A and B are shown apart, each in its own frame.
Chain A
Amino acid sequence: MSVGITRRERAAWGFVAPALIAIAVFFAVPVFAALLLSLTDFDIYALADIGNVRFVGLQNYERLFGNPLFWGAMRNTGLFALLGVPLSIAASLAAAVILNARVVKWRALWRVMFFAPFVTTLVATAVLWNYLLHTKYGVINWAITSVGLPAVDWLGQPSTSIPAILMFVVWKTFGYNMLIFLAVLQTVPDDLYEAARIDGAGVWKQFRHVTLPAIAPTLLLVSIISVASFFQLFAEPYVMTQGGPAQSTVTVLYFMYEEGFKWWNLGSASAVAFVLFLCILAITLVQLAVAKRMGAYE
């Protein structure tokens, strides 16, 4: 018997080893190396000759925190998340609630249709939205001007560039959260709504007192995933605005990309990556703590 167990254990290691080695070599090692890299002055000269690398301690971080461009990127990313997370959750929750109604026909078909933008290629749809948002010929301005409002230079001025990109992002991603909300909504027992109706609760009260408590844990999960994904915006500004106008759409990841692969300051770019990670981690922990607090009140 003991022979059999060791044979099985050996087989098990044979099954997991390739994956674990791949994860270690191509994920874990680079992540730890990033921490080390962020403490060096690895730049284009070091790329030519590794002997040029020096350990500089926290200098990259110090310089980063003294760089207004970095703070601009932090501010923009914060704005994207602050506006985008509630907007996208509201959109997906609304879509899910509507789609969950028994009276809606062909629900399975709509579900797939609403989800479709999520699987489309980001770069391609960003190019598409550049056209939809075009100041002169875009359909969005056509809709706005046809109701008598003035045309908006969406991607051309700092005050509207973030809302414009957010429109695109919400369109593209709301189907993902919608699907998750739909799955949870289907687990809410009909009796609860029935009881609420008998108590005279209207649609809004039913939503507040039945739906919302039932989906609260999912809401938390979705908000955590959303925050992380809004902190990782990159291709949208890269394709649509190249960070402009007036740096208004430079996100942290965009800043990291330029720092690393345009200016070849890999040490400094690694520091950016780490700050980004710590921000995501901190916000996630705060979200979890808040959820725990609220859970205690239930």
Chain B
Amino acid sequence: MKLRAVLLNLGVAVIALIVLFPLAWMVSVSFMSTGEASTFPPPLLPRTFTLEHYRDLFVTQGMGRYMWNSLALATLATILALLFTVPAGYAFAKLAFRGRDRVFQILVGALVVPAQIGTLPLFLMLKSMGLVNTYAGALVPWLASIFGLFLVRQYALSIPDEMLEAARMDGASEGQIFRRIVLPALQPIIVTLALFVFLGSWNDFLWPLIVLTDQSNYTLPVALAALSREHVQDVEMMMAGAVITVAPVLILFLALQRYYIRGMLAGSVKG
């Protein structure tokens, strides 16, 4: 029994090493001086600690601009997604309206359709509207999240009907009920959804790659992919770029992981 405990703890330690080593090493290499990482055996820690690659990225590679684009787009996507999905999710859970169940069934069915199918027509559509290479074009897919709608609905089902009825008796309008009762009750799932959208938008690659054609509009992942094609040899600089891209989402996740994990489990229970 003792042996088993030791083995299991050892197993966890080995997994942790495999999982975290690449990330730790990425950070370490980003502080190495140029060319240091291209030696054998690979050095674990920088011989001399330098910030030159970070400076290089921001001063000569325009990383500040890409970071701003990523930040602005992820923030706007989050706000818009909340505005669109939270009221709808609540209504699907708690307000009766004709056709509700049928509409909901159609939405469930639509979940099996990968969004990539519509990518090409969506691009043409936005092109005809003059929205290619704009923030608006990049934001469009984030408005319509069926998954987010389900997430909110699932959570809103637990709001007691008596509470809503009592407010109606007191003469509150539906809008007032939503603002004063529903929003506070939904707060945890709103944080969860916000986190999902922010991370999703920050990490997204295919759509910004397609829709943001001008380099000055690139998001961090798109810029990093372009940079990695030109600077294959500059390992240290690429690692610094990877750190800049990964660090914000990783920190955000670690700070709010409780909400994230709860939402993931809520989302996965529905098949």
Q: A: which residues have CB within 8 A of B?
A: 4-5, 7-9, 11-16, 18-20, 22-23, 25-31, 33-34, 37, 42, 47, 95, 98-99, 101, 103-105, 110-117, 119-125, 127-132, 134, 136-139, 142, 146, 171, 175-176, 179-180, 183, 203, 221, 225, 228, 232, 234-235, 238-239, 242, 253, 256-257, 260-261, 266, 269-270, 273-274, 276-277, 280-281, 284
Contacts and interface: CB of A to CB of B under 8 A. Distances in A.
A282 to B, nearest CB: 11
Contact of B125 (A30, A104, A105, A114): A30
A16 B37 contact: no
B241 A127 contact: yes
A266 B120 contact: yes
B69 to A, nearest CB: 14
Interface in B16-44: 16, 18-20, 22-23, 25-26, 29, 37-42
Query: Nearest 4 pairs between A and B by C-beta?
Result: A30-B118, A11-B174, A33-B121, A19-B88
Contact of A120 (B100, B178, B220, B250): B250
Given A12-B100, A104-B8, A121-B202, 10 more contacts: A19-B143, A30-B122, A31-B117, A33-B124, A114-B19, A120-B250, A124-B242, A124-B243, A125-B242, A270-B121
Contact of A11 (B12, B175, B238, B245): B175
A270 B235 CA distance: 37
A238 B254 CA distance: 28
Contacts of A119: 199, 203, 249-250, 253, 260
Dominant secondary structure of chain B at its interface with chain A: helix
A203 B124 CA distance: 57
B22 A132 contact: yes
Given A18-B83, A99-B12, A110-B12, A121 B203 contact: yes
Contacts of B122: 26, 30
Contacts of B121: 29-31, 33-34, 37, 270
A125 B228 CA distance: 12
B54 interface: no
B101 to A, nearest CB: 13
Contacts of B174: 7-8, 11-12, 14-15
A253 B116 contact: yes
A248 to B, nearest CB: 19
B76 interface: no
A25 B9 CA distance: 52
Contacts of B119: 30, 34, 260, 273
A103 B117 contact: no
Query: Which of B23, B95, B220, B242 has the largest number of chain A CB atoms within 10 A?
Result: B242
Given A104-B9, A128-B239, A121 B249 contact: yes
Contacts of A260: 119-120
A130 B22 CA distance: 11
Contacts of A114: 15-16, 19
A146 to B, nearest CB: 8
Interface string B213-256: 00000001110110011000001001101110110011001100
B42 A139 contact: yes
Nearest to B195: A119
Given A18-B83, A98-B15, A31 B88 contact: no
Given A15-B95, A221-B271, A121 B114 contact: no
Contacts of A98: 8, 11-12, 15
Given A16-B92, A33-B121, A124 B254 contact: no
A96 to B, nearest CB: 11
